[in-house]
Structure 1
Amino acid sequence: MSNFDVLRNSVGDLWEKYIRHEFVIKMKEGTLPLDSFKYYMVQDSKYVNVMLKSLLNASSKAPLDKITNILNSIFNTRDKGLEVEKEVFRELNIDEAIINEIGYNLVNYAYTRHLYYYSSVGWEEFLAAWTPCMVGYRFIGEFVKGSPNKVYNLWASFYGSDEYGKRVEVILDSLESIKINEELKNIFKNSVNFEIFFWESALRKDPTIFK
């Protein structure tokens, strides 16, 4: 059994609640209101900025071969990700001014601080905190692809792509090089819960109060 399977099994049905959340199912069906998705995209953009800072912060603590492979994979596929994001933003009338004007909601603020904290603690801890997002979106992208809504299908086209799959492969490879313990299982579980809360905050369109 892979280390990822060990972590995923340790959270029971929470994993399915994350990757098959109501938000995700409605994207697949094409029934998710666009204003909820626009809210999500703004919050996700703010999340990604802190996530990348956290990755760079954690990189100094990682084995050189593992972090080199991860960074190369991310930057080698960044163009496709940015191209899809740009198209989605254009469809939703989102620009940098809007993203900068809107603050973090409480869930996003807590989740990004969770990631950054563990990036300062150690590589193994950060990897456990980061994996649910990076690997989970692969499952979600493959599921949502083919949505009758062109915006959701476009969004999923990156996360369900071979390029994104290469990111996931190197992250899973790095995960195999560490020893899973109860602390890492708890960190992983907290991140899965944050992912669930992230979807729910977008459905509710929670107040954004943290700049």
Structure 2
Amino acid sequence: MANWYQTVRGKSDFILEEIKDHPFITELIKGTLPKDVFQYYINQDSLYLSEYKKILALLSVKCTSTEDALFFLNSATGIINVENELHLTFIDKSNFNKEASPSCELYISYLARIANNHSIEEGLAAVLPCFTIYKEIGDYVLAHQSNKKDNPYQDWINTYGGEDFENSVNKAVEITNRHAQTASDEKLKNMEVAFAKASKLEWMFWDSAYNKEEWKI
């Protein structure tokens, strides 16, 4: 399949549209997102990224191409830099919660299970939405802003709308497409399922942040 990503991207477009229309994103664009909601999000995102970088490192070990392996290792390192810079700018250390929310726990557990127990192709498909959806949402937010000079979340927005992140996204897509070209029909089906589930988990992550999700018991 020459462009596997474009095919599955089209099938899952409704998920991206739901994210764009979510109050978290619409209020982020306006700069009216409550600070406590953004704090909750950044807190959970930090917990998520601390595990996501390990999953990317695991995928690098599974890659047969040295170039691909280096890409995922560098991506994992880049996440560390984001944590050290952007997250430390926004995180309220005095109120930092070390417990992952139910949706955050589900997301990282799902990615870890696929990366550890399934094929490299499925692993690549599962981690891809975190690249592509963030890029598309970053672009969408930047394109619909009229308050870039006074939006309190502008530094965060710029991170995912920048050129460096775009290059990383394009490389992740290219690697996944290349693996899809030689994948069996069964693996292609499993890749599509993994991509769709991870995309839905992206929506759940935004939604859980907006509602400051807690464990019910």
- Residue from 125, 132, 137 that aligns with 2:129: 132
Measured after TM superposition, the shift of residue 22 of structure 1 is: 2.4
Query: Which residue is equivalent to 2:70?
Result: 68
Work out whether residues 129 and 188 of structure 1, in 8 Å CA contact, stay in contact via their aligned partners in 2.
yes
Q: Tell me how far apart the structure 1 counterparts of residues 72 and 98 of structure 2 sit (CA, whole Å).
A: 30
Q: 1:144 to 1:46 in 2, by over 3 A?
A: same
Q: Tell me how far apart the structure 2 counterparts of residues 131 and 20 of structure 1 sit (CA, whole Å).
A: 21
Normalising by structure 2, we get a TM-score of 0.83
Measured after TM superposition, the shift of residue 12 of structure 1 is: 4.1
Task: Structure 1: give runs of 5+ residues left out of the alignment.
Answer: none
How many residues align? The count is 204
CA RMSD, aligned part only? 2.4
Give SS of 2:213's match.
coil
Query: Which residue is equivalent to 1:106?
Result: 102
Give SS of 1:151's match.
coil
Q: 1:128 to 1:52 in 2, by over 3 A?
A: same
Q: 1:19 to 1:61 in 2, by over 3 A?
A: farther
Query: Which residue is equivalent to 2:28?
Result: 27
Residue 163 in structure 1 maps to residue 164 in structure 2:
yes
Letter in 1 for 2:206: W
Q: Tell me how far apart the structure 1 counterparts of residues 33 and 26 of structure 2 sit (CA, whole Å).
A: 8
Letter in 2 for 1:102: K
Residue 206 in structure 1 maps to residue 207 in structure 2:
no
1:139-175 alpha-carbon deviations (Å, 9 max, x no partner): 1122223463533211011111112112112101111
Give SS of 2:33's match.
coil
Identity of aligned residues (%): 25
- Residue from 87, 90, 93 that aligns with 1:88: 90
Q: Tell me how far apart the structure 2 counterparts of residues 98 and 124 of structure 1 sit (CA, whole Å).
A: 39
Q: Tell me how far apart the structure 2 counterparts of residues 12 and 162 of structure 1 sit (CA, whole Å).
A: 23
Letter in 2 for 1:158: T
Query: Which residue is equivalent to 2:191?
Result: 184
Normalising by structure 1, we get a TM-score of 0.85
1:66-124 alpha-carbon deviations (Å, 9 max, x no partner): 121333355468646743333223xxxx22x643x431111111110001011112321
Measured after TM superposition, the shift of residue 50 of structure 1 is: 0.8
Q: 1:9 to 1:163 in 2, by over 3 A?
A: same
Work out whether residues 81 and 158 of structure 1, in 8 Å CA contact, stay in contact via their aligned partners in 2.
no
Q: Tell me how far apart the structure 2 counterparts of residues 88 and 142 of structure 1 sit (CA, whole Å).
A: 21
Q: 1:108 to 1:209 in 2, by over 3 A?
A: farther
Residue 13 in structure 1 maps to residue 14 in structure 2:
yes
Q: Tell me how far apart the structure 2 counterparts of residues 68 and 85 of structure 1 sit (CA, whole Å).
A: 24
Task: Structure 2: give runs of 5+ residues left out of the alignment.
Answer: none
Q: 1:75 to 1:50 in 2, by over 3 A?
A: closer
Work out whether residues 7 and 185 of structure 1, in 8 Å CA contact, stay in contact via their aligned partners in 2.
yes
Query: Which residue is equivalent to 1:42?
Result: 43
